[in-house]
């Protein structure tokens, strides 16, 4: 049975980048760099330009992933795009990416699982490759979150940024340990109202989300390790959803990982929702931190509530 390997990674961030103080001044917010950084670890974020779509950002990330993999768009037969900010109800943003990349074969669709969307998309793509439904898949997280923020609510509007990340999953029949080991997906709709889009804008009960985050993420991580007969000490890298530095630090401590083994981008990117894990992964593979043979743990929690974890050997 084939398994899927991560053949390439890619990321894209819009050109415009605002510090906390610049954001406060631009939107007349009663906040400061110290207030935001102390509570979240965020120092700046990127914002999509007028007319720059979710599909534009996703396509740019895909081109980088294809280039790193040494692949041509003609070999891609599936595009699975996780986003909470699609360009339209339909057609899907994934099909718009398909058109932008000049791909005329295969299939493309969106997944909506908020900040956990990339983990969900990896799970779906990996399952389809294992089942023989496709041989290669672009798996994307892309968000234009700054377009659905209430700029009068400093509790949420300072948290998010825009961007896109992508990986190319490729089927292999060769023996070895490299590839997606497993994915573990969960949701509980009873808690859907603590993080949602209402009236077109993001609404969040921050303390409630934080209360659920560490326990649910820890459970998913334990599940992933147990499923593969692995221990916490086997993990070389944690690539978490970049929502809040306190949550990231807590998960690193639970795994017993030193801070230099936890990939952190939240300080520069803020929370890019479904894009945060693939953006962080692209950065860590390009600067040489994540190398061949490394065991990488990815985890996320988001609106739904949704949460999950994935283990991959590079």
Q: How confident is the model at residue 211 (pLDDT cuts 50, 70, 90)?
A: confident
Q: Residue 241 catalytic?
A: yes
The question of whether 184 is a catalytic residue gets the answer no
The band of 108, judged by pLDDT with boundaries at 50, 70 and 90, is: very high
Q: At what angle do helices 245-255 and 206-227 cross, to 10 degrees?
A: 30
Q: Which of 184, 241, 244, 269 is catalytic?
A: 241
> What's this model's pTM, rounded to 2 decimal places?
0.97
Contact 266, 177 (CB under 8 A): no
User: In sequence order, what DSSP letters do the residues of 145-204 get, joined into one string?
Assistant: GGGG--TT-HHHHTTB-EEEEEEEEEEE-S-SS-EEEEEEEEE-GGGGGGEEEETTEEEE
48 DSSP assignment: P
CA distances from 95 to 138, 162, 196 (A): 12, 20, 25
How does the average pLDDT of the chain come out, rounded? 96
Domain ranges of the chain: 3-172, 179-313
Q: Indicate if 179-313 has the same CATH topology as 3-172.
A: yes
Res 126: pLDDT: 98
Catalytic residue from among 20, 46, 62, 115: 115
Give residue-wise pLDDT tens across range 269-312.
Answer: 999 999 999 999 999 999 999 999 999 999 999 999 999 999 99
For 188-294, list the strands marked E by DSSP.
Answer: 195-198, 201-204, 237-240
Q: Note if 191 is an active site residue.
A: no
Q: What is the pLDDT of residues 121-166, one digit of tens each?
A: 999 999 999 999 999 999 999 999 999 999 999 889 999 999 999 9
Q: Is domain 179-313 classified as CATH 3.40.190.10? A: no
153 — phi, psi (to 5°)?
-105, 95
CATH 3.40.47.10 assigned to 3-172? yes
């Amino acid at each position: 049975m084939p398994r899927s390997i991560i053949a390439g990674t890619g990321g894209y961030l819009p050109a415009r980048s605002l510090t906390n103080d610049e954001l406060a001044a631009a939107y007349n917010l009663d906040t400061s760099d110290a207030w935001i950084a102390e509570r979240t670890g965020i120092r700046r974020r990127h914002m999509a330009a007028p007319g720059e779509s979710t599909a534009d950002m996703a396509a740019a990330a895909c081109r980088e992933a294809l280039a790193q993999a040494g692949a041509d768009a003609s070999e891609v037969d599936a595009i699975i795009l996780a986003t909470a900010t699609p360009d339209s109800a339909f057609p899907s943003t994934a099909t718009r990416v398909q058109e932008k990349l000049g791909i005329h074969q295969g299939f493309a669709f969106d997944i909506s699982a908020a900040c956990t969307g990339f983990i969900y998309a990896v799970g779906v793509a990996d399952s389809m490759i294992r089942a023989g439904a496709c041989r290669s898949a672009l798996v994307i997280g892309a968000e234009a979150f700054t377009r659905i923020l209430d700029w009068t609510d400093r509790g949420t509007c300072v948290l998010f940024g825009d961007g896109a990340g992508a990986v190319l999953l490729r089927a292999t029949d060769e023996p070895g340990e490299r590839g997606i080991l497993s994915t573990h997906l969960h949701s509980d709709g009873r808690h859907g109202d603590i993080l949602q889009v209402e009236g077109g804008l993001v609404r969040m009960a921050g303390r409630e989300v934080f209360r659920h985050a560490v326990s649910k993420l820890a459970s998913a991580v334990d599940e992933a390790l147990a499923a593969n007969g692995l221990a916490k000490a086997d993990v070389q890298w944690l690539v978490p959803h970049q929502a809040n530095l306190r949550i990231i630090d807590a998960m690193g401590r639970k795994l017993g990982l030193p801070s230099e083994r936890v990939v952190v981008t939240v300080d520069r990117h803020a929370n890019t929702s479904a894009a945060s894990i693939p953006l962080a992964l692209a950065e860590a593979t390009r600067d040489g931190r994540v190398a061949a043979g490394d065991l990488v743990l990815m985890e996320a929690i988001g609106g739904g509530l949704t949460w999950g974890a994935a283990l991959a050997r590079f």
